[in-house]
Amino acid sequence: MSDTRNLLVEIGTEELPPKALRRLSDAFADGMAKALDDAGLAFEGIQPLAAPRRLALLVRALPVAQADREIVRRGPALAAAFDEEGCPTKAALGFARSCGVDVEQLDQLETPKGSWLSFRAVEKGRATTELVPAMVETALAGLPVPKRMRWGSGDVEFVRPVHWVVLLFGAEAIEAPVLGIPAGRETRGHRFHHPEAIPLDSADDYIRALRETGYVMVDYRARREAVREQVVSCGRELGGAALVDEDLLDEVCSLVEWPVAIGGRFDENFLEVPSEALISSMQDHQKYFPVVDGDGKLLPSFITVANIESRDPAQIRAGNERVIRPRLADAAFFWDQDRKQPLSARADGLRNMVFQEKLGTLFDKQERLARLAAAIATLIGGEPAHAERAARLSKCDLLTQMVYEFPDLQGIMGRYYAAHDGEPEAVALAIQEHYQPRFAGDDLPNTATGRALALADRLDSLVGIFAIGQPPSGDKDPFALRRAALGVVRLCIEGGLDVDLDALLREAAGGFEDGLHAARAVDDVFDYVMDRLRGYYQEQGIPGDVVDAVLATRPTRLLDVDRRIRACQAFRDLPEAAALAAANKRIANILRKAEQAIPDQVDETLLSDDAERRLAAQLAALRADVLELMERGDYTPALRKLAGLRDSVDAFFDQVMVMAGDEKVRANRLALLKQLATLFLRVADMSRLQH
């Protein structure tokens, strides 16, 4: 077994951006793994490590050197390497000279294409210590850093100024500069608890030495779980349960090297403000974890995570309690001020807020939504008047002080203000719900009015932006149309909205000015939404050929598409599916190449062969039941019935000449195949299924 050691790389910096720390750490490990792979250095694994003032990683079981490798160079063909007398030609002499040997020291290489002169040599593998510094530089250069800093008088750039570098290969220090800093074996501890240098005997000492001596938990994932455990425990001590937002947990973990959770309290009077506003203030501004009771109601408590183990935690608690008061007072002030005028009074202000230069203002968008949401509500059994009213209030809370200060509360505050104004409950709820789903996995609206408005909002944006020629391109999607399209998919399928997408898109297009020619964009938007289905079903384990088979028939109701796809997936798993898919492909080719009119009905008097009579009889017996099932959307049992035709279809193609010499017989057999194919096509194009 080859000699291996653990490699430690640590880049000590000033405080790194907390929201980017985890991404930087993972990218550093990925870049180093690629560099090692490219160099042919196998390793057991890489452990990414990160804290606010350092990016580090441990490479486990790394060989001390590259393996030696044989180099084979092919020279001229033997026929060109020697003349008739067997003397080496200029080609052979030149090749030998380029290899640094005499012609006699060259080998012969036999291949199926001929014989060649060749040179074989063993290239000695380089020591890992020679390769590591350049690999580290390459991995650091590839980090996702949008803007790099330069410090001092040098030209080196990085995300933050670098103060120290550690390169340890086992117990051996690799003495080489990285980012302009000489590497060594001394790390640094906590900025306050242990700012002095900590010498490391080997790479294996790193995590332990920082924890036991330096007051630094350098393992990001372990530190994150420690923060979670402390916060949860502190929440219990405060008489409730901590609300642990995962993004906030990441950010707090990226702000502290030595986490210490401390609970605090605030004035109960602030609980008169909507809890979402208080929570947003605590989480966004203060990086605090809120606390709720058993019913999920906010308690007048919070949890902060300090980056120091204080001798007097009460001082830290008191300081944070002083800091939180003015923050919550601001939220209370915004709440009081915003309610002094009704939400509807803010609508005119939206005339000054541009949605998109060519598509008008947010006021214009609200007016379009009022028309479209009312139409959708009518289709899905909702109340059109409520949908129209909710649409005309849907963006008004963007002009409130609360939403200006806490943008993530848009919709939520609209619901509170609408309820305060005495709007119907369905209207108030829809204002909040129309933003749902905000992201993958988010909840859908619970009310019909909310679903109608949510669907209208997304369809309006999709049609409008496509109409002005700005669809998503590559990574550019400034209007989040991918998310909007996926929202349409989820609202219709998971929300059970049995609506015609093509018809709704045309309805949406009708809301734009005639000069925009929005109707021209409908087909492109329809295809764009349908394209999202491939990824949507892939996440559910349904292969792309099943989705393609259904979409090939261009159904326009997404809920119906879902039923077809699930029926097609179930059919695909049947033992008869492969043969029938192949038969459908054969039928499609035959019908496409037919050079005559094909009747819609089969003439039983023209059926002569037993195989075609049997298929026709079975098809006639099944057809009414299958059509009835399909009309109800019960595609799975319908396809199971059609799967029973497998033996008859096989016998037909084995025993019957479709392209018979008699024109009437030929047309009749084509009609039989057309009837069969048409039944399958009412669900999907089965010829596209792959087995």
Q: From residue 406, give the alpha-carbon distance in Å to each of 110, 327, 331, 353, 402.
A: 74, 12, 9, 18, 6
Residue 88 lies in a domain: yes
pLDDT in tens, 369-418: 999 999 999 999 999 999 999 999 999 999 999 999 999 999 999 999 99
User: Does pTM surpass 0.75?
Assistant: yes
Residue 663, classed as helix, strand or coil, is helix
Considering the domain architecture, whether residues 332 and 404 belong to the same structural domain is answered as no
CATH code of the domain containing 680: 1.10.730.10
pLDDT in tens, 629-654: 999 999 999 999 999 989 988 898 88
**Is 548 within a domain?**
no
Question: What is the separation of C-alpha 526 from the centre of its chain, rounded to a whole number of angstroms?
Answer: 22
Look at residue 138 and tell me if it is in a domain: yes
Nearest to 396 by CA among 424, 367, 372, 376: 367
| Residues 675 and 576 placed together within one structural domain of the fold | yes
Asked if residue 326 and residue 245 are part of one domain, the reply reads yes
Residues 383 and 517 in one domain: yes
CA pair distance 95, 103, nearest whole angstrom: 8
In tens, the pLDDT along 146-172 reads: 889 998 888 899 999 999 999 999 999
Domain boundary at 541, 576, 604, which?
541
Of residues 663 and 633, which shows the higher confidence score?
633
Structural domain tally of the chain? 5
Please give the residue range of the domain that contains residue 75: 69-123
> Does 344 fall in a domain?
no
332 and 362 co-located in one domain: no
pLDDT digit string (tens) for 255-284? 999 999 999 999 999 999 999 999 999 999
> Looking at residue 67, what DSSP letter applies?
P
Domain identity same for 379 and 499:
yes
Q: How far apart are CA 499 and CA 558, in angstroms?
A: 7
User: Which of the listed residues 180, 196, 212 is the one where a domain comes to its end?
Assistant: 212
Same domain, residue pair 452 and 587: no
How far is Cα of residue 680 from the mean position of the Cα atoms in its chain? 34
Kindly list the distances between the CA atom of residue 457 and the CA atoms of 295, 368, 383, 528, 636, in Å, as whole numbers in the listed order.
33, 9, 17, 16, 34
The residue from 338, 368, 403 where one domain ends is 338
What would the pLDDT profile of 516-566 be if each residue is shown by its tens digit? 999 999 999 999 999 999 999 999 999 999 999 999 999 999 999 999 999
Instruction: Find, among 174, 187, 248, the residue nearest to 218 by Cα.
Output: 187
Q: In this structure, are 380 and 425 located in the same domain?
A: yes
Do 201 and 227 lie in a common domain?
no
pLDDT digit string, tens, across residues 71-104:
788 888 887 888 877 888 888 889 889 888 888 8
- Per the domain annotation, does 433 fall within a domain? yes
